[in-house]
Structure 1
Amino acid sequence: MNPTSLFIDEHFRKHRFWLAIFLYMAVLVFGSIPGARGEVGEYATGLVLHFVTYAAIAFLLFTGFQGESAFKGTRTVILIAMMGALDEYVQSFLPYRRAAIGDWSVDASAGIVMSALLSAILPVIRRRVAAP
């Protein structure tokens, strides 16, 4: 099996979607552990962490949705924006964390960037994989 198949094969579509949901739940859980964010912050800034995490979730969602690229991109961006908002909302209740509109905007930006890239790149990859 071609490794690219894991990312574009329809057979794995639902797996990618549920992996995105699992990864998001892990973000909420681990982000709620006192001190965990500080330890991870030693390796990367909050901006980098938010962007990379939500871009990965956006990748999994986009490739996990069924339909045309515009439809998948729209759904991905909306869902990522909602996930980021919920993440920040949860943080607002934790005394050792703070909610920030800037973090949410980075999350939403990651969804937009990843959806735009995938809309442009995936059709080309699919054509190359399908060609003999």
Structure 2
Amino acid sequence: MLLAFRANRAYDRWWEARILWGTLVNTCRNLAVKANAMVHQPDTFHDSFQRLITSFPYALRDHLRAKTDHESTLTVGGKKISARHLPSAIVSQIYETFETWKKEERIQFVDYWMLDEKPRYCSKYVEGASGLRKHQSPLLIGSS
């Protein structure tokens, strides 16, 4: 009975992680599509912004797998982003880009409001994925 409970619990956690990851990828894709449609910038600028967006899931994956114990670095558009928590640094850089667009009047307030929701979701996904990773089920050592 205990083994069946553990198998079901493991499957539930796997399914929750799968849904979370799929939603994260869709959110990043939607952010890239919206930014491309709303902001009229040179193609090189769009390329660097989309590189920033697409690097987020990879940075989160590496952060969750604890591949590095030191600062991670990402270079986007000639600008280096270094941080111990690279996913949060990427979200911060996305927000800085939005603020720049708003100040330069490249986007309207309504566009800013529509774009603003996506990075907030990315931060929630980091929290959810970190919670899944931290609360792992204990190993079953004996049998009853």
For the pair shown, the structure with the greater C-alpha radius of gyration is 2
Q: What is the TM-score of this pair, normalised by structure 2?
A: 0.37
Q: Report which of the two has the higher share of helix.
A: 1
Q: Report which of the two has the higher share of strand.
A: 2
Q: What is the TM-score of this pair, normalised by structure 1?
A: 0.39
